[in-house]
Amino acid sequence: MSYVVIRSRQDVPRIMYFLRRHRSQAAVILDDLSVPQELPHIKPYNAIPGPKPIPILGNTWRLLPIIGQYDVSDVARLSDIIYRDYGKIARLSGLIGRPDLLFVYDADEIEKIYRQEGPTPFRPSMPCLVKYKSEIRKDFFGKLPGVVGVHGEPWREFRTKVQKPILQLKTVRKYIRPIETVTGDFIRRMEEMMDENKDMPSDFDNEIHKWALECIGVVSLDARLGCLDPNLSLNSEPQRIINAAKYALRNIAILELKFPFWRYFPTTIWKNYVKNMDYFVKICTKYVDEAMERLQKKKITPDSDLSLIERILANEPNKKTAYVLALDLILVGIDTISMAVCSILYQLATRPEQQRKMYEELRQLMPDPNTPLTTKLLDEMVFVKAFVKEVLRMYSTVIGNGRTLQHDTIIRGYHVPKGVQVVFPTLVTGQMEEYVSKSNEFLPERWMKNSDENYSIHPFASLPYGHGARMCLGRRFADLEIQILLAKLIRSYNIEYHHQPLEYKVTFMYAPHGEMKLRMMKRLD
């Protein structure tokens, strides 16, 4: 993939020649220039189609209750409506208190934008989290703002400190046994929760949140949090952590897309947001301090024998690095992983033939259901991994990715100024026939190298974890936790669903909405 930068009008003849030869492969950046008259085929930004703003209220009125055209709580449907109404590029301008949103549904253009970004790409920020970290709790975060809601050099410096231990396969593989232990406890808890029909309770999604938090606690805090205790009270620490994460994440759309009153005075929703974030900081500080005490009592040991949090504490002079990393992993990990698992289990329960294929693969690899999991076994679970990828293609938990442009850029023939937030709705592009063959069919086999049929899929059509330098930092742990749960659960149980079909909706994640009354039937072999 190539891209060119226009920095002066003297460059235009060369660029014109380049465009004629390579236009379909080239991304163009205009370095703070207006569109040169010598490039007449480049259309101005205001020519991009999209909902027309009205005086004073702009397009913000479309997101308001009662009078609004769009439901801010269903961003997935909004992304699909905009594509159907305006095509492969559309802008939503006139949003009070925030930059324009530019929706791009062209996988080739998405690839160009990703490939032209430098070492510090700007992902559309969470203004509420930025305000919390940089203003409300500047005393705590200081020069260590973390990786979520942070951009530029501060983001790069922090990520450099933590990415090696968290992305190394040998570090991830050390957690196979601890996560398997947590998952075994969770399955026993599921057995206790069954009703007379073997159905899970109506709030089973909250139980999945507890499993996800227990796994994340093992990884990011080096501790068992007690989330799977059957007598857990509503005011218990684990449940309060889950509630805080849900509140902080599920109100982001309201804080950021509706009129941002919270920027000017402390609204109720903003005060509750700060309260929940403060609780996160308190919990992370408590458990990291305990990990530090354990580390100090250990004899000198190589990095390979240390946990993730111990490696960071041993190699970073400021232990706040560990505080902030743990905060970010928990904040984005609980809802992301738990909602993905809800979706995957629901799809398994409603696709018996696909579940049978998964079970047969697992039975072949693990004749004894109690076989301890190993790296080798997990690597050989080809269909398990393919099924997860296909669920995330058709029902992507994260409905889209995006970037804030750092340069004026040409996108689909339009001159787009820097500062615009470009949105890549992967939930839509992942189901477009021109990028994914048989896109309307659920076919895990499309992800398997030894498939009998040659399926095609554009590499930038479905990106549930993002791409490039800002790809999800905890993706390997997320994959590991999901794969271990499926291996242990489906090897021993057939999962069924015998109630009204669930609709997919967006809270913060895109997932089945309603009572997850999955039925667990013990397998006989």
Q: What is the pLDDT of residue 65?
A: 64
pLDDT of 1 strictly over 50: no
CA-CA distance, 28 to 91, in Å (whole number)?
Answer: 19
Q: Which of 105-109, 254-258, 385-389, 441-445 shows the lowest per-residue confidence on average (mean pLDDT)?
A: 254-258
Provide the number of structural domains found in the chain. 1
User: In one letter, which amino acid is 459?
Assistant: P
Residue 35: predicted pLDDT = 47
Q: What percent of the chain stands above pLDDT 70?
A: 87
**Averaged over 60-67, what is the pLDDT?**
68
pLDDT of 386: 97
Confidence band of 2 (pLDDT split at 50, 70, 90): very low
Least confident of 44-48, 144-148, 153-157, 504-508: 504-508
Mean pLDDT of 454-467: 92
Rounded CA separation 126/402 (Å): 12
Can you tell me the distance from the alpha carbon of 239 to that of 220, in angstroms, rounded to the nearest whole number?
17
40 occurs within a structural domain: no
* Mean pLDDT across 333-348: 94
* % of the chain with per-residue pLDDT over 90: 51
Task: Estimate the crossing angle of helix 268-297 against helix 320-349, to 10 degrees.
Answer: 110
Report the alpha-carbon distance of residue 199 to residue 214 in Å, rounded: 23
Where is the binding site, in residues? 472
Residue 25 resides in a domain: no
Question: What is the structure's pLDDT at 25?
Answer: 46
- Domain hosting 379: range is 124-400+437-522
The mean per-residue pLDDT over the stretch 463-484 comes to 92
**Predicted confidence (pLDDT) at residue 442 exceeds the cutoff of 50:** yes
Instruction: Decide if 411 is inside a domain.
Output: no
Q: Is the pLDDT of residue 72 over 60?
A: no
**200 located within any domain:** yes
Q: Average pLDDT of the chain? A: 86
Q: At what angle do helices 475-492 and 352-365 cross, to 10 degrees?
A: 90
Which stretch, 6-15, 247-256, 281-290, has highest mean pLDDT?
281-290
Phi, psi of 9 (to 5 degrees): -70, -20
Summarize pLDDT for 263-295 with one digit per residue, the tens.
888 899 999 999 999 998 999 999 999 988 888
Distance CA 129, CA 251 (A): 11
- Domain presence at residue 388: yes
CATH number for position 278: 1.10.630.10
Q: Is 2 within a domain?
A: no
Q: How far apart are CA 225 and CA 241, in angstroms?
A: 10
Signed CA dihedral, 339, 213, 244, 476: sign only: negative
The band of 116, judged by pLDDT with boundaries at 50, 70 and 90, is confident
Average pLDDT for residues 390-418, to the nearest whole number?
Answer: 92
Dihedral, 190, 193, 195, 199 alpha carbons, nearest 10: -40
Specify the pLDDT at position 300.
Answer: 63
* pLDDT greater than 80 at residue 59: no
Please, is 273 exposed, middle or buried when counting C-beta atoms within 10 Å of its C-beta (0-12, 13-18, 19+)? buried
**Which residue, among 430, 444, 80, 64, has the nearest Cα to 261 in the 3D structure?**
64
Asked whether the beta carbons of 97 and 131 are under 8 A apart, the reply is no
At 34, is the pLDDT very low, low, confident or very high (cuts 50, 70, 90)?
A: very low
Q: Which of 265-269, 296-300, 349-353 has the lowest mean pLDDT?
A: 296-300
Band (pLDDT 50/70/90 cuts) for residue 335 is confident
Q: If you average pLDDT over each of 1-10, 108-117, 485-494, which comes out highest?
A: 485-494
pLDDT at residue 165, as a whole number: 86
Best CA proximity match to 515, nearest among 246, 231, 207: 207
Q: Is residue 371 part of a domain?
A: yes
Give yes or no for a contact between 35 and 415, defined as CB atoms under 8 angstroms apart. Answer: yes
Residue 371 DSSP label: P
Cβ-in-10-Å burial (0-12, 13-18, 19+) of 317 comes to exposed
So what's the pLDDT on residue 250? Answer: 77
Residue among 183, 115, 170 at smallest CA distance from 375 = 170
pLDDT in tens, 179-210: 999 999 999 999 999 999 999 999 999 999 99
Q: What is the 3-state secondary structure (H, E, C) of 412-480?
A: CCEEECCCCEEEECHHHHCCCCCCECCCCCCCHHHHCCCCCCCCCECCCCCCCCCCHHHCCCCHHHHHH
Model pLDDT for residues 17-32, shown as the tens digit of each residue:
455 555 444 555 555 4
Angle at 99 between CA 93 and CA 104, to 5 degrees: 65
Q: Evaluate if residue 412 carries a pLDDT over 80.
A: yes
pLDDT at 144: 87
**Least confident span in 70-84, 154-168, 468-482:** 70-84
Region 398-414 average pLDDT: 90
Nearest to 496, CA basis, from 356, 335, 395: 356
Give the pairing of strands 421-424 and 101-104. parallel
Pair of tokens at residue 518: 């999955």
The predicted pLDDT at position 232 comes to 86
Q: Does a structural domain hold residue 27?
A: no
Output the known binding site for heme. 472
Please name the amino acid found at residue 16. Answer: M
